[in-house]
């Protein structure tokens, strides 16, 4: 049984995004928790449930897997009843030995009027709060 990724609240260095790891299943790499973005074209975004994944690599210096660094991805999406819009945030990066996450984010947004936005959310470090 591994202890990474560490459950907890990870906050981006700009304080606009949070990623809560409630549980991480090492058998399939699924992360359950909550993703929050303070801003979007339609206001704050919150997603809950299976919001991420991770995959270990064999660490040659330690002679095993189940330790940092490894790949991790997380994010959230929303499409309200009536489907007036859909927004999707996706972060991909690396879980590091200091239990922080370095990730690059992207957002896509489409609404019922045909407005399309695809933009970078930047490269940010997420640390346990």
* pTM (two decimals): 0.94
Four-residue CA torsion sign, 61, 65, 71, 74: negative
> Mean pLDDT, to the nearest integer, of 114-123?
98
Task: Establish if 1 belongs to a structural domain.
Answer: no
Task: Give the total number of structural domains in the chain.
Answer: 1
Q: Residue 10's beta-bridge partner residues? A: 19, 128
Residue 9 has pLDDT above 50, yes or no: yes
Q: Residue 95 maps to which CATH number?
A: 2.40.128
Residue 58 to residue 92: CA distance in whole angstroms: 19
Distance of alpha carbon 105 from alpha carbon 70, whole angstroms = 17
Mean pLDDT over the full length of the chain: 96
Does 2 map to a domain? no
pLDDT at 1: 41
Q: What is the pLDDT of residues 64-74, one digit of tens each?
A: 999 999 999 99
User: In which domain, by residue range, is 30 found?
Assistant: 8-128
- Per the CB < 8 A criterion, the answer to whether 123 and 104 are in contact is yes
């Amino acid at each position: 049984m591994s202890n990474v990724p560490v459950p907890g609240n990870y906050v981006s260095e700009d304080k606009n995004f949070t990623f809560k790891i409630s549980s991480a299943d090492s058998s399939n790499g699924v992360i359950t928790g909550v993703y929050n973005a303070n801003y979007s074209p339609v206001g704050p975004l919150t997603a809950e449930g299976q919001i991420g994944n991770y995959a270990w690599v064999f660490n040659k210096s330690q002679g095993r897997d189940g330790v940092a660094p490894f790949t991790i991805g997380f994010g959230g999406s929303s499409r309200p009843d009536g489907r007036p819009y859909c927004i999707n945030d996706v972060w991909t990066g690396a879980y590091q030995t200091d239990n922080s996450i370095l990730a690059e984010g992207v957002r896509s947004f489409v609404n019922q009027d045909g407005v399309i936005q695809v933009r970078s959310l930047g490269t940010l470090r997420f640390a346990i709060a």
